[in-house]
Structure 1
Amino acid sequence: MKTEKTVYVLLGGTSGIGAALSQQLASENAVVHVASRKTGLDISDEQSVYHYFETIGAFDHLIVTAGSYAPAGKVVDVEVSQAKDAFDTKFWGAINAAKHGARYIKKGGSITLTSGMLSRKVVANTYVKTAINAAIEATTKVLAKELAPIRVNAVSPGLTKTEAYQGMSEDDRNAMYKRTQNSLPIGKVGEASDVAKAYRLLIENSYMTGAVIDVDGGALLG
């Protein structure tokens, strides 16, 4: 019987899906290290990430949920500098985390990254998110080979009720949720806790690596 507590490092775990996952993992009497911009860690800064893992030491599982924001708009309208900033956080931040976290991951450990349904669903005015998420999914499979026997997977969420949409008016937000609900085969918009369960599946199933799990209520079906 395993007596040691499982140690998780969760980057981006102070809000949204990350926070829901943190709560679920903590309920298992595990050790959960949570870091984000709110706690002072900028994952787009490689040196900061390097030093962060030095302070943590050995651990079992790395999960990266940081970087949900990306500018929306047509390619002719979005400032390239804003697109690069989004890439720096979500894509390069995930690379920084995998690169410097991998050396501390114990035998049997894993890395779980976060993409999003726009990697494979064509929606106008979302080229930045589409590009970032597609890059993460492709890179996940490469890392699964490079870092083996560490398992590397990704979760691809659809629209999820989180704080990411707090900047919208309540009416606009509710209208968006209603449109999405009506378009999904499952007939509901996901909660952060729904998506968090997919991370736990990838963490717990030792036969999964290089996988991308869609948790989108069927959004990719059409």
Structure 2
Amino acid sequence: MSALNSLHQQNVVIVGGTSGLGRAIAQAAKNAGAIVTVLGRSASTHEGITGISADITDASSLGQAFASIGPIQHLVLTSGARVGSPKLPALSEEELQLAFSVKVFGYVKAVQVALPYLAADASVTLTSGILARKPGPGGLLKSMVNASVEAMGKNLAKELAPRRVNVVSPGVIDTELWGAPGSDARNAVMEKVAPGLPVGRVGQPGEVAQVYLMAMQNGFINGTVLDVEGGGLL
């Protein structure tokens, strides 16, 4: 496999690719010539991208989905639980279980179930987040989850070699995670965050999607956390 590889006619599977960042990655991979399949609880086929309904916390549904796809050259995981940012006194057992079941246990389960279908030179790209290394009040839950994903990526890069495993760590990106497009709540978050970033603005989904494509295509990137956060860690 060369250092820089085309995605043309390669199977790219995105778990959590039905909205937001995952959808942007799916579109970018399709534009690069890949055969793209997105998995999610409400996945549907549209605009040349195949959708398969699957739950990242359910190994059986994941197995059925992967088996229907066949050999996978690139697996991308973007799923995450919709949880808030409670401080320790308010952090509930339910929030802990939900966050870890989707983004930690779910990621492990997805890679494990996908193994029989991953090409010998496949890439796997996980998704963490800036809070993995940016602590603050109310950030405990998301920091723990995202730090776990980053540790997972480095360990899997060693264990699954010569397959490559990387982690993309986005900062604040203008997606549905923050509310409906144009909503007051979403605009308020973007306006609050932007002045504190060295680039003076929040990120766009397409900008982050290009980093996922780089992780897929560059055969010498492995075991790495790729930060895309506008300088938010500085």
Same fold, TM exceeding 0.5?
yes
**Counterpart check, 1:14 vs 2:18:** yes
Deviation string, structure 1 residues 112-138 (Cα, Å, up to 9, x no partner): 000000000012112111111000001
TM-align CA RMSD = 2.0
1:54 aligned to 42, 55, 67, which one?
Answer: 67
| Separation in structure 1 between the aligned mates of residue 40 and residue 140 of structure 2, nearest angstrom | 25
1:51 CA displacement: 2.4
1:47 CA displacement: 2.2
| Separation in structure 1 between the aligned mates of residue 171 and residue 91 of structure 2, nearest angstrom | 23
Higher deviation after alignment, 38-47 or 142-151:
38-47
Q: Is the 8 A contact 2:153 2:223 kept in 1?
A: yes
Percent identical among aligned pairs is: 38
Correspondence for 2:37: 33
User: Amino acid of the residue matched to residue 200 of structure 1?
Assistant: L
- Larger helix proportion, structure 1 or 2? 1
1:139 aligned to 149, 152, 157, which one?
Answer: 152
**Counterpart check, 1:75 vs 2:79:** no
**Counterpart check, 1:173 vs 2:209:** no
Structure 1 residues 169 and 81: alpha-carbon distance in aligned structure 2, compared to 1, 3 A threshold? farther
Structure 1 residues 192 and 168: alpha-carbon distance in aligned structure 2, compared to 1, 3 A threshold? closer
**Counterpart check, 1:205 vs 2:218:** yes
Instruction: Report the count of equivalent residues.
Output: 221
Report the secondary structure of 2:89's partner residue.
Answer: coil
**Counterpart check, 1:216 vs 2:220:** no
| Separation in structure 2 between the aligned mates of residue 171 and residue 124 of structure 1, nearest angstrom | 24
Gapped regions of structure 1 (runs ≥ 5) = none
Report the secondary structure of 1:155's partner residue.
Answer: strand
Q: Is the 8 A contact 2:9 2:33 kept in 1?
A: yes
Correspondence for 2:50: none
Report the secondary structure of 2:76's partner residue.
Answer: strand
User: Amino acid of the residue matched to residue 135 of structure 1?
Assistant: S
Structure 1 residues 2 and 131: alpha-carbon distance in aligned structure 2, compared to 1, 3 A threshold? closer
| Separation in structure 2 between the aligned mates of residue 131 and residue 147 of structure 1, nearest angstrom | 24
| Separation in structure 1 between the aligned mates of residue 219 and residue 8 of structure 2, nearest angstrom | 18
Deviation string, structure 1 residues 35-72 (Cα, Å, up to 9, x no partner): 11112311011222222212222120000011152232
**Counterpart check, 1:125 vs 2:138:** yes
Q: Is the 8 A contact 2:8 2:33 kept in 1?
A: no
2:166 aligned to 148, 153, 158, which one?
Answer: 153
**Counterpart check, 1:86 vs 2:99:** yes
